């Protein structure tokens, strides 16, 4: 009996020992804490300079006058000096911002598309991804002037003629020669500042001038004053030629120049247009950009004091700036105003 009791005690002891040993072999895993998702930080630093420069275009063009008005508004908003710089226009402004030579500028949708994607020879194959968009400016109207009685009444009549097409890096300087090539028109194209080219036309050195800008173009208005409205012919692009150009360059669209924009016009002028957008370096301070965009879009009369084309510089035209991503400062402003930002316009540093 005693042996049986000892056996039972021994078995129970062994069972307890085995359970204890089994317990020692198991560890309870600590609760898993999910990693904290830190907001993405840009891999670059922004700057808040003590002065800024706006890249415009040639003297006598809309960009130059519009740029002066914009510089005044920006200077008032930031409390620092903001000046304008004469450049070769939209393409050149994109290059200058990409190269870090200026912080603010203006361009049109055609060059913007080519710059962002590194297309055409003028970009050197470089994708200009340091550029950001700020706000819609106005529609650019492609139109030409010639002297009455010279037999130049359409684009086709410029065959074999000497035609000024503004600075080579401007919108008309870039696309004007392409339009001629596309339509099979052999014109003798010359480039330069629009004011100088119009003066050359008055001196008989050119047969016509083309420009793409907000209206009215001051150099064209001055030419009317000098020659007399009855002696100047305005030429647009319409009909089959217009459709051919739009098919090749879809960022151009139908546009109408109202007759009251130029004294020489007796009726509205049919043509094509492309939208302009204000641009900045991605390195420009977000608060600076927010203040600039807010002041520009909420002081339309001050902008129009620079040039009448600013009548279209309104937040409601946001839909036309659909190529280059917004600067975070601009995105903040439009979001505050209730606009939904399309995914492709959200810059990498804001995602």
> Quick one: the chain helix, strand, coil %, rounded to 5?
45, 20, 35
pLDDT at 36: 38
pLDDT at 24 over 70: no
Q: With 90 as the cut, is the pLDDT of residue 272 above it?
A: yes
Q: How far apart are the first and last CA of the chain?
A: 82
Domains in the chain with CATH codes: 52-137+276-350 (3.40.190.10), 141-273 (3.40.190.10)
Reported confidence tier of residue 44, pLDDT bands at 50, 70, 90: confident
Are 74 and 292 in contact by the 8 Å Cβ rule? The answer is yes
Contact status, residue 106 vs residue 66, Cβ threshold 8 Å: yes
* pLDDT per position as a tens digit, 83-110: 999 999 999 999 999 999 999 999 999 9
Region 139-158 average pLDDT: 97
* Partners of residue 108 on adjacent β-strands: 276
Q: Is the pLDDT of residue 10 over 90?
A: no
> Mind listing the pLDDT tens digit for each residue in 225-239?
999 999 999 999 999
- Per-residue pLDDT averaged across 39-63, rounded? 85
Question: Once rounded to an integer, what is the mean pLDDT over residues 164-171?
Answer: 93
Predicted local distance difference test score (pLDDT) of residue 20: 44
- pLDDT value of residue 43: 72
Judged against a pLDDT cut of 80, whether residue 79 lies above it is answered with yes
What average pLDDT is seen over the chain? 90
Longest CA–CA separation in the chain, Å: 139
What is the pLDDT averaged over residues 157-183?
A: 96
- At 279 the pLDDT is 99
- Quick check: 93 and 106 in contact, CB under 8 A? yes
Asked if residues 112 and 140 have their Cβ atoms less than 8 Å apart, the reply is no
Could you tell me whether strands 269-281 and 253-257 are parallel, antiparallel, or unpaired per DSSP bridges? antiparallel
User: Environment class of residue 340 by beta-carbon count within 10 Å: exposed (0-12), middle (13-18) or buried (19+)?
Assistant: exposed
Which pLDDT belongs to residue 21? 41
The predicted structure's pLDDT at residue 60: 80
């Amino acid at each position: 009996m005693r042996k049986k009791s000892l056996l039972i005690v021994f078995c129970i002891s062994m069972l307890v020992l085995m359970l204890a040993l089994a317990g020692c072999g198991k560890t309870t895993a600590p609760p898993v804490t999910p990693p904290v998702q830190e907001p993405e930080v840009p891999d670059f630093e922004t700057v808040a300079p003590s002065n800024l420069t706006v890249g415009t275009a040639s003297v006598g063009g809309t960009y130059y006058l519009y740029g002066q008005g914009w510089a005044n508004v920006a200077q008032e908003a930031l409390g620092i000096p903001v000046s304008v710089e004469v450049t070769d226009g939209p393409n050149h402004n994109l290059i200058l911002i990409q190269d870090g030579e200026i912080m603010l500028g203006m361009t049109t949708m055609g060059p913007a598309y080519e710059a962002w994607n590194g297309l055409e020879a003028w970009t050197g194959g470089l994708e200009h991804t340091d550029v950001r968009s700020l706000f819609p400016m106005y529609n650019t109207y492609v139109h030409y002037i010639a002297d009455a009685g010279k037999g130049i009444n359409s684009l086709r009549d410029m065959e074999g003629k000497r035609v000024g097409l503004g600075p080579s890096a401007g919108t008309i300087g870039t696309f004007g020669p392409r339009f001629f090539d596309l339509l099979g028109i052999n014109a003798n194209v010359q480039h330069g500042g629009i004011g100088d080219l119009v003066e050359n036309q008055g001196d008989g050195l050119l047969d016509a001038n083309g420009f793409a800008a907000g209206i009215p173009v001051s150099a064209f208005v001055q030419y009317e004053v000098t020659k007399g409205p009855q002696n100047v012919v305005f030429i647009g692009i319409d009909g089959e030629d217009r459709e051919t150009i739009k098919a090749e360059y879809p960022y151009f669209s139908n546009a109408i120049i109202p007759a009251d924009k130029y004294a020489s016009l007796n009726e509205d002028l049919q043509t094509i247009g492309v939208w302009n957008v204000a641009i900045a370096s991605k390195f420009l301070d977000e608060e600076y950009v927010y203040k600039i965009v807010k002041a520009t879009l909420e002081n339309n009369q001050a902008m129009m004091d620079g040039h009448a084309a600013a009548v279209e510089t309104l937040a409601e035209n946001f839909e036309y700036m659909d190529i280059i991503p917004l600067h975070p400062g601009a995105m903040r402003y439009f979001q505050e105003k209730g606009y939904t930002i399309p995914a492709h316009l959200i810059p990498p540093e804001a995602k």
